[in-house]
Amino acid sequence: MLIGHYNYWVVVALMMLGFFIIIAHGNLIKKIIGLTIFQTSVFIFYISIAKLDGGSAPILAEGVSDYSNPLPHVLILTAIVVGIATTALGLAITVRINEAYGSIEEEFIQKQDNQT
């Protein structure tokens, strides 16, 4: 039973890894990587629950009674594009923060903000 649901274990492992990276590291690049890993686990989860065993493509054919719904896969493709754009924006903001503060470490940035 547990072996048959290995994709859900992968989702949980990636989600915990991404969350740990976000919480444990103060480097902004590492936080963005953690968010990307977390986001990937959500993509895998939605694709996993959308899979229908024995389901066919949604094309009418004789002898086929179970059809897979393509909508979740289309939505995930859209989410991937939005995720890439969000990651690019986060990296661009990190570059600007590095130019302004001279560091991408969260503690250093907070210390500089508190001093002024």
3-state DSSP assignment of residue 7 = helix
Q: For each of the domains in the chain, give its residue range(s) and CATH number, in order of start.
A: 6-52+66-115 (1.10.287.3510)
DSSP at 105: B
| Distance, CA of 95 to CA of 85 (rounded, Å) | 15
Q: What is the pLDDT of residue 68?
A: 80
Task: Report the pLDDT value the prediction gives residue 25, as an integer from 0 to 100.
Answer: 94
- Indicate the pTM of the whole model: 0.84
pLDDT (tens place) for every residue of the chain, 116 residues total: 667 788 899 999 999 999 999 999 999 999 999 999 999 999 999 988 887 777 777 787 788 788 888 888 899 999 999 999 999 999 999 999 999 999 999 999 999 999 86
Distance CA 11, CA 80 (A): 16
- 53-to-3, 50, 56, 67, 86 alpha-carbon distances in Å: 16, 10, 9, 10, 33
